[in-house]
Structure 1
Amino acid sequence: MKPRIEQRERTSGGDMANQNDSFIDEVTEDLRRDRLFALFRRYGWIALLVILGIVGGAAWREYSSSQAETRARAWGDAIMAARQGDDPITALSAVDPAGSAGRKVLSEMLAAGAEAQAGLPQKAAERLKAAAAGLQNDPVLHDLALLKAVMVAGPAMDAAERDRLLADLSKPGAPFELLALEQKAVALIGAGRTEDAVMLIGQIQQKDGLSEPLRRRLSEMMITLGVEPEPSEGSLPQTMPAPAAN
């Protein structure tokens, strides 16, 4: 009998131990849940604000992007309509840039191109210089407008003014350095300074970053000046024919 009683006692003792462990686990879980809820009640508004900020920021970016795309499309449609009108110069100048300085100068460039086609290169150059004056904080568009002014006016521009503009535009690191140097070479050719033009073209050809169209134009200028252009990279060197055997 005794062993059975002891076995029952051990069994009941084990059950009670398991019940105690389960009870402790439940109490611990309840405490954790209560602490979690307390933390959420205390700091949950911060997490809510973060979530709202993320969602609101994404919605605002999407809205801003959509508005910018709509304005750009409307501007492009207005430009196309202005170029096809009876007076494209006036129409292009009147296109609303919707507050964008970049779009305004692009409209002025297109208007200047229409003036040049109408035989008014000086007026076109003045328009471009005026547009560049309002773009001191945008070196790319500023230099582009001035470079186009030089190209549109051509020999009609005062030589001193042209040299001054090209000197600034061809400074090392300028956005359109190589194109400005090309215009310097064109000006030298126009002034009859062939040797200086050949030397400058040779210097330009040695610079890094030459585009293929610019490299081709420089070679064509050298040929026009009676100088054999240097072979481009990747081309096979020209060999002299072998002497005939006696």
Structure 2
Amino acid sequence: MSNSDGFIEEVTEELRRDQMMATLKRYGWIAVLLVLLIVGGAAFSEYRKAQIRAQAEGLGDAILAALENDDAAARVAGLQSVEAADPQAAAVLSLLTASEQISADDLAGAIASLDAVAVNAEVPLIYRQIAQFKALTLQTETLPVTERKQGFEALGAAGGNLSLLAQEQLALIAIQEGDIEGALATYQAVLNDAGVTPDLQQRALQVIVALGGEPDLNGAPIDENNG
């Protein structure tokens, strides 16, 4: 390699370094900003997690403190004084409050607490279904049969965990109305459902026999504990 070639390479390398330094001076702040954003984002994420954890612990402590009262009315008052910002936590709080209101013989208050959860679109469906189911069962003597049937039919058609329990309630309503054939058909459908629990299966068998029916166990899941 000639001296001229070596000189040209040195000059070229020097120009590259100068260009790189100029680029860093011009755009280096972007890299610094990115680093700050990453570090700051991680710190904020940890802060939010800690804040959410602290809120959950605070809510749990407040609920436990309210439930420590010996008097049901005092437990209701204590739970009603607790604030929950998260819709799901508020739904759980309302369900607990309704349970204590039932213990305090405040059915109207319990129904109101349950209805508030049932119509709240911000909470998970399962909480709304539980609230609706419980509210309907509390209004056996006060809510017109047609309205109760509509409510249980909606729950029964929705599928999920409460579907079979809703069908059981519909069978009970059929018995009250004297529709024994309809009640037997509903109980048999419950009995044959793959999702039937052992307790519900046992109840269905007992009622079918009590109504003079003959349980068809060909398509029913077998509960080994019941033989």
Query: Structures share a fold, TM > 0.5?
Result: yes
- Superposed counterparts of 1:1-246, under 5 Å: 17=1, 22-85=6-69, 86=71, 87-97=74-84, 99-133=85-119, 135-138=120-123, 140=125, 141-151=127-137, 153=138, 155-158=140-143, 159-172=145-158, 176-189=162-175, 191-207=177-193, 210=195, 214-225=196-207, 226=209, 227-228=214-215, 230=217, 231-232=220-221
**CA distance in 1 between partners of 2:216 and 2:4 (Å):** 98
Aligned partner letter, 1:216 = P
**Aligned counterpart, 1:9:** none
How far off is 1:106 after superposition? 1.7
Q: Secondary structure at the match of 1:162?
A: helix
For the structure 1 residues 179 and 46, does the alpha-carbon distance in structure 2 shift closer, same or farther, using more than 3 Å as the test? farther
Q: Is the 8 A contact 1:143 1:175 kept in 2?
A: no
Between the two proteins, what is the percent identity of the paired residues? 31
Gaps of 5+ in 1: 1-16, 239-246
1:66 to partner: Cα distance: 1.0
Which structure has the bigger radius of gyration?
1
Secondary structure of the equivalent of 1:155?
A: coil
Amino acid at match of 1:223: L
Per-residue deviation at 1:169? 2.4
Q: What secondary structure, in the 3-state scheme, does the structure 1 residue paired with 2:54 have?
A: helix
> How many positions carry a matched residue from both structures?
213
Q: CA deviation at 1:174?
A: 6.7
Tell me how large the CA RMSD over aligned residues is: 3.0
TM-score (norm 1): 0.72
Separation of aligned partners in 2, 1:128 and 1:108: 7
8 Å Cα contact 2:156/2:166 also seen in 1: yes
Alignment check: 8 A CA contact 1:122 1:157 kept: no
Distance 2:12 2:223 in 1: 78
Please, what TM-score do these two structures have when normalized by structure 2? 0.77
Matched residue SS, 1:107: helix
Kindly tell me: are residues 118 and 194 of structure 1, through their superposed partners in 2, closer, same or farther at Cα, counting changes over 3 Å? farther
Residue 191 of structure 2 contacts residue 204 of structure 2 at CA under 8 Å; is this kept in 1? no
**Structure 1: distance between partners of 2:101 and 2:67:** 12
Contact 2:62-2:82 within 8 A present in 1 as well: yes
1:24 CA drift (Å): 4.1
Instruction: Give the Å deviation of 1:29.
Output: 2.8
> Kindly tell me: are residues 24 and 204 of structure 1, through their superposed partners in 2, closer, same or farther at Cα, counting changes over 3 Å?
farther
Unpaired runs of 5+ in structure 2? Answer: none
